[in-house]
Every structure is written in structure tokens, then in C-alpha cells.
Structure 1
């Protein structure tokens, strides 16, 4: 939302480490502090995996991959502050950050699986129509979320690419067909999410957690879209943009949890 350029240097903050007083710079400062905290936590998880869980790839590999992706995110973040990046690189940045979240959710669910099944062997298998629908919807959502940046959609707060139908998606510049493709993919993803919720009530009615995750994903999807449209209609106030971003991040986490839980069912 423009805060990245509020601090002109990296990794320091105006040559030091003290928090700045200017609101935009403070937002960027909080972002950097959060990134450091996340990085340390992932590093700790990777170290624990290497020390005690080498025989459990589901507990070892996700944090190691997340460390690599965090390095990519940090490097791109530095480029954003110190210079500029293309829409494609910005999309890679967002895709990497989303994958870090997915990997951490996967590791958490795998840890829960092994806690309940100490001698179990975990692998993902999507053997019925609902689990495959969840997987397909999750893949489509992932592509939609980061691809908005790569096609250069210029709406403020569109860093997570659920499109703003009222946020002037069709602008001059020769990339209209890419934006149209993104909108069509988003529409298809919306249909998949609706189908997922309906199917959950049919096939997962007695499975409380799966039904809750599917309904939560549907509610968060609607919240993200509604907040984006209201923000576009009202001049993009920070409050609605914040709701949009938070809802979208939670949506991705919930979708990841649903897909992983469905995949791990075959090993229970």
C-alpha cells in the first residue's frame, strides 16, 4: 500500500533501528520486525527438525523450504526499498510469501498427525471427489492471489490478487487480455469455492472440522471480495484495505489446512 518506500534504506531504518514516528514508515517498520520474528521462528523450526526429526520429512522439509523462500522474499523486499521491481518479480515475492505460510500450516498439521499417530506414515492422497475439489480450488486460489501483480492490475491494495471489479481492472496499456484472463480465472475460482462449500455440506456434514474449514473458507472469500469492492467504491480507505488483506491471508491459511487435512485422511 505504498509503505515500502516510506523508509529509504534497508535493512536499517533511517540509519538505525529505532522505530520512526511517521505513520507510513512505522507501518514498514512493523512489517520488517514481523519478518524478522517469522524468520527466527522458521529458523528455530528448521533447527529442531534437523536435530530431532530427520526421519520425519513432513516436519523437516517444510521449514527448510520456508527458509529458502524467506531469503527470496527478503532479497526482493530489499530491491523494492532500494530500487524497483517488475510486476513479475513482485508476483514471485508474493507467491513465495504465500508458500511460506502454506508450508508452516502443513508442518503444524503434520506435527498434529504424528502426535496422534506416533508410528504412522504420512503422505498426501486425494481419493474422493471432495478432496480433489479442495485441491483444485486451492491451486486455483493460489494462482489468483499472486497473479494479479504479474498482470499489473493498478488498484491500490491489490497486493493479494482477488480482483476488484470496481477497481478499474481494464486500463490502457496493452495488457487488457492478461487482466481479462485474470478476471476469468478469478470467476472460475469463485465458482469452485461455492461448489466446495456446497459439496462439504453434502459429503462432509458429519466431519465437523472439515465442514468448519470449508465454511470458513467460503466466508473469508466473500469477506475479501466485499471489502475490496467497498474499498474501491469508497476511495480505498486503509481500514477496508486492512480487512481485505487480513481476510485474504486467513483465507489462504484455511484453504491450506483444508487441503492438507483432506490429503492426510488416507493415512489415518
Structure 2
């Protein structure tokens, strides 16, 4: 099946971004369906592409090959139980992008034999440069895995993990990761201002430096250690800064912060399950 029938439950920013990426990559808009209780959300969606829109979840799911749950975790139980019969009738793959909702919980709400992919995208997906981790239960076929690859790959890179628990690490790394970089850039900007630069200049220089460093890391065939070595002249300014970071335990701070994020993800899954 080249172009599956894809239904989105929820028409917020993430759903809109994925739909935009799908249409741009060749998925026909008439094979995309979306349901949302808010008419304004559906109107914004139709500005992106002439997709089929509904105010009724069951109608949108009927006949779908793939159902993408792009709703808040707090309403996931009600949404799943409401579409369970229609999803089972069509044999649809269900993809959840809701944080903290385990496959065990979704199977209780949707039916034990439902094919489910749980994924953790991040906010850069809104710009088409996201990083998404995915985990599939045993009911997911190879064709359905390919569907998930195509759908989430429309807004960035995708990586499969072998254990559902690994999604907590994905959350700590790429899910929460953009905020870490924002914080680091904020700190660089403030330091530049403290050393005499005006804030606009410091901001522009810091953001462009972040972009350039990321591109160098992505587009070179050498690892980060070597890239850092090439920038760090012995006895120079960069070495002085790096040694200061190391002396103050930057690596351990990052390790501790990501451990805290992963632990919180695990706790949230228990709270919402």
C-alpha cells in the first residue's frame, strides 16, 4: 500500500506539522483525515492542506489504516475508549505521541490485540528537523513499522528502540534536549552582554554559532571529540574555556540532569497509567 489512509485525532501544532511534512513528501491530502473538537484548529489545518476534517473521532477513524493520537495525555483514556471499536474494525495501527502513556494502558483502552507504536517526537519537528524515538508492540507488522517510519520521518529523523523503557532515555535526550540548548545559549548571550556586547549582537552571534556547530557535527564524517580538538588550539582561548567547563563538572551536570528527566518520565507514566 503506497498511500495509507491516515487519521489524526487532534489537530494541534504537532499534528499540523506532521501533516504538512506528509503532504510535502507526496502523501495525497485526500487520504489524510483529522478530527478535533475545535473548529478553529481544523480551519488552520485546512490552510496547510485540503485534508478531510471531522468533529467526530469515530467517523474520522472508520476505515483508517493508521490512527495518530495527537491529544493531551489527560484525555487519552477517553479518546481511546471512544475509538476502540472503529480502530479494531479497520485493523488500524495506532501511533501515540502523548508523553507518559504506556502501551499497556493503551491496550486496556483500545483492545489487547491492537497494533500500537508509541513515539517521542520533539519540538523541532515543528520546523521539519525533529528527532523521534519509536517503540512498537508485538502486534505491529513490518508494513506498519514502515508506515510509522514514513509518517514521523516526514518531520525529521526517526530511531527505533528495543525496549519501551528506552523511551524515557529518548525523552531525557532529544525530547527535553532542545531546552538544554536554549538554556546554554541564554547563558552564552548573558555572558556576552556581561563582557560588553549589546544584547542583539550577542544573541545573533550565539544563535548562529549554535546553528553552525550543529551543521558541522551533522555534515562531517568525524566525531565530536575530533571536531572539538580541531577548534581547541593548545594554550588558546577555547582551551581556557573548555578547561573551566570541565573543572566545574559540566559533564556530570548533564548526566545528572538527564537522569532527573528520565526519572520524571518514568514517574509520569505511572501517574497517568
Same fold flag (TM > 0.5): no
TM class, shorter-chain normalised? under 0.3
Larger radius of gyration: 2
Per the normalisation by structure 1, the TM-score is: 0.23
After TM superposition, the score normalised by the length of structure 2 is 0.23
- Higher relative CO (Cα under 8 Å, sequence separation at least 6) belongs to 1
Greater strand content: 2
